[in-house]
């Protein structure tokens, strides 16, 4: 599917319903909650829709202002497709011989699930803010209680809310 034009980018509703121009099927419950873990981009899309309905603003605008800017993340965006200015700074995968692989980038209309463009520096800023919030040193976006809940395992598997957890020694 060609998603180079904003006219061909599906809306969140079209994605959830599996309607053209979306290239995925409808979001459906396929197993009872808490019985197995499988990543669910559809579930993340559903959370995105709930957030945008609750705040009455487009996901990109809201998250960039209320989350990214609030913690000093300045080079990241949910812009899809990338503007020519941002495209100049985008990179692509290379093989072990240094040859570029595949297209430079894809348009991901599923913003919350796959649409963030970021840099190593911005990811580090995010990780620092999570740690500061966890230790009660900052709460630019989420409280210490919220971050603590997000870093605890939920349901089945080694995942928390938004984070994959790994066991080292005797603890997670």
Q: Where are the domains of the chain?
A: 6-116
CA distance 100 to 150: 37
Confidence (pTM):
0.82
pLDDT, tens digit, 9 for 90 and up, residues 101-139: 988 888 999 999 999 999 999 999 999 999 999 999 988
Q: Of all residues in the chain, what percent carry a pLDDT higher than 90?
A: 56
CA distance 46 to 112: 9
User: Which residues, including other chains, have CB under 8 Å from residue 6's CB and lie 6 or more apart?
Assistant: 81
Distances (CA, A) of 91 to 86, 88, 126: 10, 8, 21
pLDDT, tens digit, 9 for 90 and up, residues 30-67: 888 888 888 888 999 999 999 999 999 999 999 999 99
In 3D space, the residue among 172, 171, 49 whose CA is nearest the CA of residue 163 turns out to be: 172
């Amino acid at each position: 599917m060609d998603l180079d034009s904003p006219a061909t980018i599906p809306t969140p509703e079209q994605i959830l319903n599996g309607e053209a121009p979306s290239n995925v099927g409808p979001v459906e419950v396929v197993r009872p909650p808490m019985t197995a873990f499988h990543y669910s981009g559809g579930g993340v899309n559903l959370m995105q829709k709930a957030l945008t309905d609750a705040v009455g603003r487009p996901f990109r605008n809201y998250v960039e202002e209320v989350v990214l800017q609030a913690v000093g993340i300045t080079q990241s965006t949910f812009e899809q497709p990338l503007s020519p200015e941002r495209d100049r700074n985008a990179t692509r995968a290379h093989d072990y011989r240094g040859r570029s692989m595949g297209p430079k980038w894809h348009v991901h209309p599923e913003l919350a699930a796959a649409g963030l463009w970021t840099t190593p520096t911005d990811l580090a800023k995010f990780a620092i803010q999570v740690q500061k919030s966890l230790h009660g040193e900052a709460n630019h976006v989420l409280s210490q209680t919220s971050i603590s809940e997000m870093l605890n395992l939920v349901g089945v598997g080694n995942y928390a809310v938004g984070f994959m957890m790994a066991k080292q020694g005797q603890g997670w």
